[in-house]
Chains A and B, each alone.
Chain A
Amino acid sequence: MSIPGAEQLHDVRLHVNGSVHEVQVPARRLLSDALRHDCGLTGTHVGCEHGVCGACTILVDGRPVRSCLMLAVSAVDAEITTVEGLTEDDGSLSPVQQAFSDCHGLQCGFCTPGFLTTITAGLADNPDPSEEEAREMIAGNLCRCTGYQNIVKSVLRAAELGKGDE
Chain B
Amino acid sequence: MKPAPFAYLRPATLEEALAALAGQQGAKVLAGGQSLVPLLSMRLAAPSMLVDINALPDLGHVTVSPGGAGDGAGEGVRIGALARHADVLASAEATASQPLLAMALSHVAHPTIRNRGTTVGSLVHADAAAEMPMVLRLLDGSVDVASVRGRRTIPAAELFAGPLESTLAHDEIAVEAFFPALGPGAGVAFQEIARRHGDYALVGVAAHVETAGGEVTRARVGFVSVSDVPVVVDVTDALDDPAGAALAELEPADDIHATAAYRAHLVKVLTPRVLADAIHHARQTTTQGRSA
Q: Which residues of A contact B (CB under 8 A)?
A: 2, 4, 7-8, 10, 26-28, 30, 33, 49-51, 54, 57, 60, 63-66, 68-71, 73-74, 76-77, 118, 139-141
Encode contact with A along B97-133: 1 for CB under 8 Å, 0 otherwise.
Answer: 0000000000001111101100000000000000000
**Distance to closest chain A CB from B90 (angstroms):** 10
Q: Which of B38, B52, B113 contacts A73 (CB 8 A)?
A: B52
Is B248 an interface position by the 8 A CB rule? no
Q: Tell me whether B41 and A54 are in contact (CB under 8 A).
A: no
Chain A residues contacting B55 (CB-CB under 8 Å) are: 77
Is B7 an interface position by the 8 A CB rule? yes
Q: Tell me whether A7 and B37 are in contact (CB under 8 A).
A: no
Q: Which of B4, B34, B54, B111 contacts A51 (CB 8 A)?
A: B34
> B116's closest neighbor in chain A, by CB?
A65
Q: Tell me whether B10 and A51 are in contact (CB under 8 A).
A: no
Chain B residues contacting A118 (CB-CB under 8 Å) are: 112
Is B33 an interface position by the 8 A CB rule? yes
Is B197 an interface position by the 8 A CB rule? yes
> B3's closest neighbor in chain A, by CB?
A28
Q: Tell me whether B111 and A64 are in contact (CB under 8 A).
A: yes
Q: Which of A70, A77, A140 contacts B110 (CB 8 A)?
A: A140
Is B50 an interface position by the 8 A CB rule? yes
**Distance to closest chain B CB from A110 (angstroms):** 17
4 smallest A-B Cβ distances: which pairs? A140-B110, A27-B8, A50-B38, A28-B3
Report the bound CA distance from A32 to B14 in whole Å: 28
Q: Tell me whether A64 and B37 are in contact (CB under 8 A).
A: no
Q: Which residues of B contact A (CB under 8 A)?
A: 1-8, 10, 30, 33-34, 37-38, 40-42, 48, 50, 52, 54-55, 86, 109-113, 115-116, 197-198
Known A27-B8, A49-B1: A66·B112 in contact at CB below 8 Å: yes
Chain A residues contacting B110 (CB-CB under 8 Å) are: 54, 139-140
Q: Tell me whether A54 and B30 are in contact (CB under 8 A).
A: no
Known A64-B115, A65-B112, A66-B112: A27·B34 in contact at CB below 8 Å: no
Q: Which of A57, A63, A70 contacts B37 (CB 8 A)?
A: A70
Q: Tell me whether A140 and B8 are in contact (CB under 8 A).
A: no
Chain A residues contacting B1 (CB-CB under 8 Å) are: 49-50
Report the bound CA distance from A60 to B116 in whole Å: 9
Q: Tell me whether A50 and B41 are in contact (CB under 8 A).
A: yes
> B36's closest neighbor in chain A, by CB?
A69
**Distance to closest chain A CB from B274 (angstroms):** 23
**Distance to closest chain A CB from B40 (angstroms):** 7
Q: Tell me whether B42 and A74 are in contact (CB under 8 A).
A: no
Known A2-B5, A64-B115: A140·B37 in contact at CB below 8 Å: no
Q: Tell me whether B116 and A69 are in contact (CB under 8 A).
A: yes
> A26's closest neighbor in chain B, by CB?
B5
Report the bound CA distance from A76 to B111 in whole Å: 23
**Distance to closest chain B CB from A42 (angstroms):** 17
Q: Tell me whether B10 and A63 are in contact (CB under 8 A).
A: no
